[in-house]
Amino acid sequence: MNGSVKTITEIVKNLNSAKLDPNVEVVIAPPSLYLLLTREHLRKGIEVAAQNAFDKPNGAFTGEISVEQLKDSNITWTLLGHSERRVVLQEDDSFVASKTRAALDGGLGVILCCGESLEQREANKTIEVVTAQLRAVADKVSDWSRIVIAYEPIWAIGTGKVATTEQAQEVHAAIRAWLKESISTQAADSTRILYGGSVSEKNSRDLAKQSDIDGFLVGGASLKPAFVDIINSNV
């Protein structure tokens, strides 16, 4: 919930003029009020995502935004299950899974977020929590070809704390192993797993070197010019 017409226009202008690694797929997710503004002015080759979508068709759901409305506005992706929606707005695993199914059925790509709290990590429940969040989606979705998983340790979001490269790689490897066991070998090989947790231009290169980290879900740093440096971190 950041930005204004002025600041988002400036971010778009910066991305439009930047030299970006052609091998990196870039998707940006402004607040819903600015989705059309962003899509209208953003150059081709960079996609736009909603920060959330509802699991029901258009109708009497005041305040929500439907998959059909997003598609109609040429928005091709949506974030779902972000930790702030799970924690602040109390969205449970089943609800996130329902929204994921609705988005996929409606033709959107999904950036599916998962992650654990500090208490859960300290109790050594990280893998248990993350795979439970993913399993809820697997119960309702069979095709994972348009899902990108984003692992975001809640304790490292906006805190300045960052999981070490080893900690991040360990969880990413566990997610890939879960995909192989629970979905398919193809899903494990082809699903991109992003890391999100205080990613900056200072740590992105080291994180990108890890074998199971395929990219980043960037929060506050995406509002700064250094976002371009993160994109070009040899991901």
Phi–psi pair at 108, nearest 5 degrees: -90, 155
The token pair that represents 210 in the structure block: 């890890």
CB 170 within 8 A of CB 211: no
d(CA 195, CA 207): 8
The token pair that represents 209 in the structure block: 């070197």
Specify the 3-state DSSP secondary structure of 42.
Answer: coil
Query: Which residue in 82, 91, 116, 172 is the catalytic one?
Result: 82
Q: Is 82 a catalytic residue?
A: yes
- Amino acid identity of 22? P
Q: Within 13 Å, how many C-alpha atoms sit on residue 71's CB side?
A: 15
Q: Is 166 a catalytic residue?
A: no
Query: Which residue in 91, 116, 152, 201 is the catalytic one?
Result: 152
Catalytic residue IDs: 82, 152
